[in-house]
Structure 1
C-alpha cells in the first residue's frame, strides 16, 4: 500500500516523499488507520519493520490540526539513545507540519536540565522521554500533562525487562483518564499483556513476525573456543571491503575493550561503546559510525534495540545473547527494511545450549561454518549440553543445574539453506 492511500495530510506526504519513501511497511499499513481513528493499539513487531513511523505519522497528522503547542503526546522509551532517535525522526517526518518536540533523558548537564524544565513548563506538542528522567521532573511539580491525548510506550518489553514497570504506572497516574494508548513491543510476554489490560481500553492487536529475524538476514555461526574468537574476528573482517559498516556485540564491557584492542592492533578503524562512556562520548561514537567515519563498532547490549543505524552490512555476536529474543534484536541491526545483511555468531562450549534455544525460537537450524584451517578445530555442536553452574545447585536466572551431557553432533551441524528472500 502506498502512503497516499493512508489518509495522511499533504504536508506529511510531502515529507515522506522527500525522504524517498513510497510504500508503507505492513506494520505501518495496519497501524496508521487504527491510530488515526483514535483507537488503542497493542502492536508486536520486530526491529527494522518501520514501527516508529507507524505511530509517529498518524500522531503528527492529528497534532498538525492543533496550533497552541500544548503537550498532547507523550512517548516513553527505555533508553536515551532511542529518545534521541525518535525526536530526530519527529523533526524529519514533521518537517512540513507545525509540530514541535523535545527529548527528555538523563546524562546531561545543568543547562540541559533547565532547557528540559523550560520546555515542560512552556509546552511542546510531543515529549519523548525515558522514565527515570521524566519522573525527576514530575516530582518537582511543574509538569502539566492535563492536555495529553496520546500515550505511546515504545519498546515496552524492554522497559519492563529494565524494571520500569512501577515508573510507567507512576507516570500514567499524572495523565488524563481519557486518552489514546499505543503500545509497541518486539515481543509479547505475559507481563506485556497484563500491562495492556491495566492501561488500555479494548485495544486492537497487531502481531507481525514475532521473534523471527528479518527475511533478508543471512545467518551463520562458528563453533569456537574462547581463545579463537579474537583471531576469528580479524579473519572475518580482513579484506572484506564490501562491508562498510560492521557491528560487533559482546556480553560485557571488559570484552568490548579486548575486542577493540585486538582490532586496533591490526590497523582496523574501530571504536567501542558501553555504559562506561559519558553521554557526549557515546553520541560522538555513534555519529562517527553513522557517517561511516568509523567502520567497526563494538558494543554491549545497549545497542541491540532501538538505535536506527542504517546500512549495517555485518553483525557479529561475539557471545551468544543470554535471552533468545535478544538474538533477534541484535540480528535486527542488519537487513533493515528492504536490504540484505549478514549475521554471524561465535559459539563456545558454554553457549551451545543457549544457541539451541535460539534455533528453537526462530524455528530453523543456523548454518555452522568451519573455522579457518589456521585457527584449528573448534568444539562439536551439542545444543543439549548445559554449561556448569557457577552458583551451586540452584544457580542464577537463566543458568542450568550444572549437569553436562556427553558431546555429540547436533542437528544444526548440517548446512542450512537459509532464507534469501528480500525483507519486506
Structure 2
C-alpha cells in the first residue's frame, strides 16, 4: 500500500517521500489505519519491519489534525535505552520535516545543559517527547512537565523494558498521565508479562502480530563450532577474506569486546568497540561514524542488539552465543533490514552448545554448521544435550537475567 492512500496529511506525506519511503511495510499497513481511528493497539513485530514509523506517522498526523496553538505535550514515547530515544527522535525529525511538529529526546547521561534544555521543552510543551524511564521520572518529580493534556502514550520495545526492570517506573510515569488517552504498546515478543502489562494500561486494544520470534528469511545463517582460543583467529579470517562495508560483532561481555577490537585494530581494520564503559557522547560518536561509513566494524555488547536503525549491514557475527533465542533474533536482525539480504555467523564453544540448541529449537530448524577454515583448525564436535526428545520445538525456558 502506498502512503498516499492511507489518508495522511499532505505535509507528512512530503516528509515520507523525502526520506525515500515508497510503500508501507506489513506492520505499517495494519497499524496505521487502526491508530488513526484512535484505538488502543498492542503490536508485536520483529526488528527491521518498520514499526517505528508505524506509530510515529499516525501520532504526527493526529497532532497536525488538532492544530492547537496551546502548547502542550501531545505524545509520550517511552523507550528502554538512550540510543533508541535518539534514533526515534532522528526519524521523527525526518518524517515531520515539512511540518511544524516538534520533538525532543530525553535521556540520562548528559551534562547540566542537556537537562536544562529538556526542562525547557517539557515545561513549555513539545509535541512529542521520546524518553527513557529514569530521566522522565526525574523531570516529572519536579512538577513542571506539561503532561495534563497528553493525547497518546507509546511504549516501544516493551519486552526489553520489562527485562531491564522498568515495570514500576513505567507505572509511576503513567500515574502522572491523564486517564483519557490513546495507548500504543509495541513489543518484539509477546510473553505473559507483556500481556499482563497491556491489561493494566490498554483499553480494548486491537492486536497486531507480525512474524514473532522468527528471523527475516533473507538472512543466511551459519555457525562455527570452535574452542575459545579459536574465536579471535576465526573472526580475523572472516573479516579479511572478503571486503565488507559494514559489520557488527556482538560479544557477551565488555572484556571480550575490548580484547577482540584490540586485535582487529592491530590488523589494520577499521574497527571500534562500543559498550557501557563509554559515556553517552562517546557512544553517539562511534555510532555516527559507523552509520556514516567512516567505520566498517563495530564490536558491541548487547547495548546494540535492539533499536539501532543502521541499514545495509553486510554481516553480523555472534562472537558469543546469545543468552536466548529472542536475543539471537534481535542480534541477527541488524542485517537484512528493509528489502536487503544479510549474513549472520555464530561462534559456538563447548559450553555454549546446549544454549545454541535451545535457539535452534526456537527457530524450528538447525542452523548450518560451517567447516572451520584450515588456518583456524578443527573445533570440537557439535554434541549438545537435547532439551526434549521431540525435535526442534519452540523453547519455553525463562529468560535469564543479565
The TM-score range, normalised by the shorter chain, is over 0.9
Structure 2 length-normalised TM: 0.95
Q: Deviations over 1:324-382 (max 9, x none)?
A: 10000000000001000000000011111111111111112111101011222111112
Q: Is 2:12 aligned against 1:12?
A: yes
Residue in 2 that maps onto 1:390: none
1:214 to 208, 213, 216: 216
Q: Deviations over 1:78-104 (max 9, x none)?
A: 000000000111100001112000110
Give the alignment's Cα RMSD to 1 decimal. 1.3
Following superposition of structure 1 onto structure 2, how do residues 46-85 of structure 1 map, counting pairs within 5 Å? 46-65=46-65, 66-68=67-69, 69-85=71-87
Q: Distance in 2 between matches of 1:90 and 1:379?
A: 48
Question: Residue 29 and residue 381 in structure 1: after superposition, are their counterparts in 2 closer, same or farther (change >3 A)?
Answer: same
Q: What secondary structure, in the 3-state scheme, does the structure 1 residue paired with 2:190 have?
A: coil
Unpaired runs of 5+ residues, structure 2, are: 388-397
Q: Deviations over 1:9-64 (max 9, x none)?
A: 11111111112111100000000000000000000001100000000001111111
Q: Is 2:104 aligned against 1:105?
A: no
Q: Deviations over 1:196-246 (max 9, x none)?
A: 0001101000111110001111111100000000000000010311x2000
Q: Deviations over 1:171-196 (max 9, x none)?
A: 00000101000000000010000000
Contact 1:229 1:346 in 2 (8 A): yes
Following superposition of structure 1 onto structure 2, how do residues 246-285 of structure 1 map, counting pairs within 5 Å? 246-285=247-286
Contact 2:124 2:146 in 1 (8 A): no
Q: Distance in 2 between matches of 1:337 and 1:384?
A: 36
Q: Deviations over 1:59-78 (max 9, x none)?
A: 11111122333101000000
Following superposition of structure 1 onto structure 2, how do residues 131-170 of structure 1 map, counting pairs within 5 Å? 131-170=133-172
Q: Distance in 2 between matches of 1:378 and 1:86?
A: 42
Q: Is 2:198 aligned against 1:223?
A: no
Q: Distance in 2 between matches of 1:13 and 1:143?
A: 31
Contact 1:30 1:206 in 2 (8 A): yes
Give 1:385 deviation, angstroms.
6.7
Contact 1:270 1:297 in 2 (8 A): yes
Q: Deviations over 1:266-296 (max 9, x none)?
A: 1111000000001110011001111111110
Q: Is 2:137 aligned against 1:129?
A: no
Following superposition of structure 1 onto structure 2, how do residues 164-179 of structure 1 map, counting pairs within 5 Å? 164-179=166-181
Contact 1:64 1:99 in 2 (8 A): yes
Contact 2:324 2:399 in 1 (8 A): no
Q: Distance in 2 between matches of 1:117 and 1:18?
A: 31
Residue in 1 that maps onto 2:30: 30
Q: What secondary structure, in the 3-state scheme, does the structure 2 residue paired with 1:376 have?
A: coil
Residue in 2 that maps onto 1:383: 384
Give 1:139 deviation, angstroms.
1.1
Give 1:398 deviation, angstroms.
4.6
Q: Distance in 2 between matches of 1:120 and 1:212?
A: 39
Q: Distance in 2 between matches of 1:256 and 1:62?
A: 43
Residue in 1 that maps onto 2:313: 312
Q: Distance in 2 between matches of 1:239 and 1:360?
A: 31
Residue in 2 that maps onto 1:363: 364
Residue in 2 that maps onto 1:237: 239
Q: What secondary structure, in the 3-state scheme, does the structure 2 residue paired with 1:375 have?
A: coil
Contact 1:352 1:385 in 2 (8 A): no
Contact 2:89 2:130 in 1 (8 A): yes
Q: How many residues align?
A: 389
Unpaired runs of 5+ residues, structure 1, are: 387-395, 400-424
> Which portions of structure 1, spanning 4 or more consecutive aligned residues, are displaced by more than 4 angstroms?
396-399
Give 1:3 deviation, angstroms.
1.1
Q: Distance in 2 between matches of 1:156 and 1:383?
A: 32
Q: Deviations over 1:387-415 (max 9, x none)?
A: xxxxxxxxx9859xxxxxxxxxxxxxxxx
Following superposition of structure 1 onto structure 2, how do residues 296-307 of structure 1 map, counting pairs within 5 Å? 296-307=297-308
